[in-house]
Amino acid sequence: MMHPEALDILTARLEEKRRAGLGRSLVTVGPATGARVRVQGKDCLLMAGNDYLGLCRHPALVEAAKNASHKLGAGCGASRLAAGTMDGHQELERKIAEFKHTEAALFFSTGYMTNLAAISGLAGPDDLVVSDSLNHASIIDACRLSRARIKVYPHNHPKEAARILAAEKTKGLKLLVTDGVFSMDGDLALLPDLWEAARKNGALMVVDDAHATGVWGAAGRGTLEFFRMIPQPGLIQVGTFSKALGGLGGFVAADQVVINSLIQGARPLLYTTAPPPAQTAVAEKALDLVDEEPWRREKLHNLSRRLRNGLIEKGFSVKSQSGPILPVMVGEASRAVAMAKSLLKNGLYAPAMRPPTVPAGESRIRVTVSAAHTEEDVDFAVKAFEEARQELFS
């Protein structure tokens, strides 16, 4: 039986977080997707998710999941390398590679697991990983899991990344890793300069396009397309189906030699059960919808501009300059929590983001826009922020 003092230690740690305004709790919303949800018995406008294209409740995705489950069953029963790889997995991977203009692709159960696989499956103890200081937690964890030597460069500073790559000597692999769109700040990585730094120093580059796939670029292919970059050998794209594409799962799209390397050594592929047929079918149909319904992407960016302009006109500090992620900066964690509570009271659900998710003193309300929203929703959000500020800080 666990010694009582151990539970006392956990209780004290929880209380310390609560006093610092950093306590967390799970909030039930229902339904879990769409523009509006019910939170704590109150009907609210949801501006906290990542359903950028509004596909989570798309009838075609629901139908794809239903048909696949009915035909192929609820699960795969084994890992991809044991007996879990199905025809649907390989067909999806062919479509991902075509979508991202790469030689090959590999599908994983979640986006988090994809980053763990991509980085720890390629880099090891003899290698060097150079990572942006604001990269997602899954990238940070993947770097640590790889046991490679890790160097962190200041956020979105390609010159410093290049300096580190040039200065750090290694007998093994060099890997430069960056988010394509940074999830808390909403800004885009300076990919052309970063790729030049990687190329000149003989490094591979991993771009996590979780918040860009389906959203950025003329055809929704992501940040490479936005910057008019052509996929090249050594340029590895990571993505997810759980955000703009409305489902669940992640992928790596890259050269065949990269994919083969991951099949050999990516632990999240080797030691977890394969994604179920319904998940695979939803992912495949979502790729089709990016091309079939481009109006969703146009509407998303139009609504994002409307909301950003409205908030700035009212005097709010919005950290990002474009796109559907709008971090409204508040400062101290306690103030951000108070703001989020007031917003909820006024019918807007957008939780506070606090340390360790964001740096100390940079707590914020991370507002996100979806193509499922309307202009009226956006205007309501601006009004809700005005009312919350007046209640709390006037």
Catalytic residue from among 138, 183, 320, 363: 183
Residue 133 known to be catalytic: no
Every domain of the chain and the residues it spans = 22-53+294-393, 59-292
pLDDT tens, position by position, 58-114 = 999 999 999 999 999 999 999 999 999 999 999 999 999 999 999 999 999 999 999
Tell me the mean pLDDT in the region 44-55: 95
122 in Cβ contact with 175 (< 8 Å): yes
Catalytic residue from among 89, 100, 174, 211: 211
For residue 257, name the pLDDT band (cuts at 50, 70, 90).
very high
Catalytic residue from among 243, 299, 319, 373: 243
**Distance (Å) of CA 88 to CA 15, 275, 290, 309, 354:** 48, 10, 19, 44, 40
Does 3.40.640.10 match the CATH number of domain 59-292? yes
For residue 30, name the pLDDT band (cuts at 50, 70, 90).
confident
pLDDT for 42 beyond 90: no
Residue 183 known to be catalytic: yes
* E strands in the chain: 29-30, 36-39, 42-46, 104-108, 128-132, 149-153, 174-179, 204-208, 235-240, 250-254, 325-331, 348-349, 352-353, 363-368
Tell me the mean pLDDT in the region 200-204: 97
**Strand pairing category for 348-349 and 42-46:** parallel
Fold that domain 22-53+294-393 belongs to in CATH: Aspartate Aminotransferase, domain 1 (3.90.1150)
Tell me the mean pLDDT in the region 198-204: 97
Residue closest to 226 by CA, chosen among 292, 181, 175, 185: 181
Residue 58 known to be catalytic: no
Domains 22-53+294-393 and 59-292 share a fold: no
Residue type, 27: V
